[in-house]
């Protein structure tokens, strides 16, 4: 096991880097997209609500692997070339954004309805009330579940292995078949995943306890 660490440290490091990079990129974009669709879902406009709802339901109910492979194999056949890393990150972004939209929507809606009415009655516009009253409270509520989404994101980024995305899992497969030492290769990579996810998950639990 130590052999794998020392022999393949470069490959492992590269994988580690790509995994984190892909997760961070996907987090950033899925936050933006997720927040946008969450807002659409709570707007008083019916069409907007429907668009938001449809987006969320589509990407929540189709496997990440299907979405990712679609961007890797199908889109390039008909439209533009997308490399494995990008396809994987796009897949992760779309998939995660649906969950983030759901989290943020729940957060906004959990802020008491009376607050919006109150804000409107003192003369604020809808957007002002949203910006200054509702969203700040919602953000506090949604941070722990968002943290959990990020942990899921890191774990899910292993789907990059299916599209040659150079991530940790891809390197694990490659090391496992070079050394024939399957279990130990995956064990090493498992430890590397835990280095990212375990502290995060403990921190999120701590946050949850503090806000509760």
Q: In the complex, which residues of this chain contact other proteins (CB under 8 A)?
A: 1, 57-58, 60-66, 69-70, 72-78, 81, 83-84, 151, 155-159, 161-164, 169-170, 172-174, 176-177, 180-184, 186-187, 189-190, 193-194, 197-198, 201-202, 208
CA dihedral 32, 34, 35, 37 (to 10 degrees): 120
| Cβ–Cβ under 8 Å, residues 177 and 186 | no
Q: What does each C-alpha distance from 162 to 8, 61, 70, 114, 206 come to in angstroms?
A: 21, 20, 12, 48, 34
Q: Which is nearer to other proteins, 51 or 69 (CB)?
A: 69
Report, in Å, the least distance between residue 122 CB and other proteins: 33
Nearer to other proteins, 135 or 204 (CB): 204
Q: Which is nearer to other proteins, 35 or 64 (CB)?
A: 64
Q: What minimum distance in Å lies between the beta carbon of 105 and other proteins?
A: 13
The span from the CA of 164 to the CA of 151, in Å, is: 22
Q: Is 64 exposed, middle or buried (0-12, 13-18, 19+ CB in 10 A)?
A: buried
Task: Give 37 or 119: the residue with its C-beta nearer to other proteins.
Answer: 37
Measured from the CB of residue 102, what is the shortest distance to other proteins in angstroms? 9
């Amino acid at each position: 096991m130590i052999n794998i660490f020392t022999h393949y440290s470069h490959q492992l490091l590269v994988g580690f880097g790509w995994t984190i990079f892909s997760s961070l990129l996907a987090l950033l974009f899925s936050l933006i997209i997720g927040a946008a669709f969450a807002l659409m879902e709570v707007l008083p406009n019916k069409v907007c609500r429907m668009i938001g709802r449809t987006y969320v339901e589509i990407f929540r109910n189709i496997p990440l692997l299907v979405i990712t492979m679609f961007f890797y194999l199908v889109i390039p056949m008909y439209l533009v070339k997308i490399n494995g890393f990008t396809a994987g990150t796009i897949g992760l972004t779309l998939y995660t954004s649906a969950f983030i939209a759901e989290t943020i929507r729940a957060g906004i809606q959990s802020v008491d309805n009376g607050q919006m009415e109150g804000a409107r009655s003192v003369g604020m516009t809808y957007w002002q009330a949203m910006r200054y009253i509702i969203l700040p409270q919602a953000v506090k509520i949604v941070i722990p579940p968002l943290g959990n989404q990020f942990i899921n994101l890191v774990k899910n980024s292993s789907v990059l292995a299916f599209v040659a995305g150079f991530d940790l899992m891809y390197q694990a497969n490659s090391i496992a078949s070079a050394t024939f030492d399957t279990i130990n290769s995956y064990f090493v990579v498992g430890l590397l995943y835990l280095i990212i996810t375990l502290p995060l998950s403990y921190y999120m639990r701590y946050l949850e306890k503090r806000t509760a």
